[in-house]
Amino acid sequence: MTARNGADALLQLRGVSRRYGDRQALHPIDHDLAAGRCTALFGHNGSGKSTLLRIACGRDAPTGGRALFAGRTVAEDDPEVRARVAVVGDSVACYPDLTVREHLELVTVAHAVDDAPAWIDQVLADRRLADHADALPNALSSGQLQSLLLAAALVRPRDLLVLDEPEQRLDPGARARLAALLVAEKEDGVAVLLATHQAELAEEVADHMIALEDGRVIEQGTPAEVLRKLGVRS
C-alpha cells in the first residue's frame, strides 16, 4: 500500500528555523528528502530534533523559512498532508477505553483503508501485538504501547513517515524488527525522517544523517561519516 516513487524531494526544508520567545531552538536548515530515502536526526536532548520533526509534519510552523511537502507548505490540517504523512510521536497517547485492535480500526476508518481487517491482522502480527489485540492500553507494557504507536502509523497509507525516537521503550528484538521495518518502508518508496539516539538504528536505516547541537547542524553526511566525525565510531 502507499508510496509513490519518484526522484523529486517529497519534503523540502528551505531555511527552516524556529524561535521560542528569545530562544532560537532551531537555526536555519536546508534539507531535501526524496521518496525511498531516510534521513536521521541525531543529537543530545534539547538539540532541536523534535522541533524539526514537528515542522516537517506540519504540527508546528517555522518562524523562518519554509517547509514544503509535495511542493506545498506543510500544514497538519491540509488533507494531502493528513492522507500521506504518518507520524509516530515521542509520547504515547491512547484512548483508555479502546482496545489495541479498536485503535487500529479507528485509524483505518479515518483513512478509508481497503481490506482493513486483513491489514490490521498483518500489522498486529508484525508488531507482535496479536496476543494483545483485545487488551486495553493500561494492560500493555511501555514497549507494547510503543509498538501500538508504530502499528497505528503502519495500518494507514503513507508516503512520508516521521518518527520521533521510535526505538524508545523497545527491547533489542523489537529494535531489530524496527530497523528491518524501516528498510522495508524505504523499499516501498516511503520517505522516512526519524530522530534517534541510537547510532546503530541510523547506520542500518539512514542514507543521510544530520547531527544537531543547540539547534545548529554540526555535521551531516552518511551515518558512517557523521558518526566518525562525532567520535561515536572510530
Interface ranges with ligand ATP (CB under 6 A): 20, 23, 25, 43, 45-51, 195
Cα 127 from Cα 178, distance rounded (Å) = 9
Burial call 110-129: b when 16+ CB within 10 Å, e when fewer: eeebeebeebbeebbebbeb
The set of cell numbers assigned to 107 is 485509524
CB of 43 to ligand ATP, least distance (A): 5
User: Rounded CA gap, 163 and 195, in Å?
Assistant: 6
Nearest distance in Å: CB 46, ligand ATP: 4
Q: At what angle do helices 116-126 and 142-154 cross, to 10 degrees?
A: 140
Give me the least distance between CB of 90 and ligand ATP, in Å please: 6
Nearer to ligand ATP, 113 or 209 (CB): 209
Q: Which residues in the chain belong to E strands, given as ranges?
A: 9-20, 23-34, 38-43, 64-69, 72-73, 85-88, 160-164, 191-196, 208-213, 216-221
Minimum distance of ligand ATP from residue 197's CB (angstroms): 7
| Shorter beta-carbon distance to ligand ATP: residue 12 or 47 | 47
The residue among 23 and 114 lying less far from ligand ATP, judged by its C-beta, is 23
Q: Nearest approach, Cβ of 132 to ligand ATP (angstroms)?
A: 27
Is the Cβ of residue 12 or residue 51 nearer to ligand ATP in the bound state? 51
Contact status, residue 82 vs residue 69, Cβ threshold 8 Å: no
Return the number of the residue (60 or 121) whose C-beta is nearest ligand ATP.
60
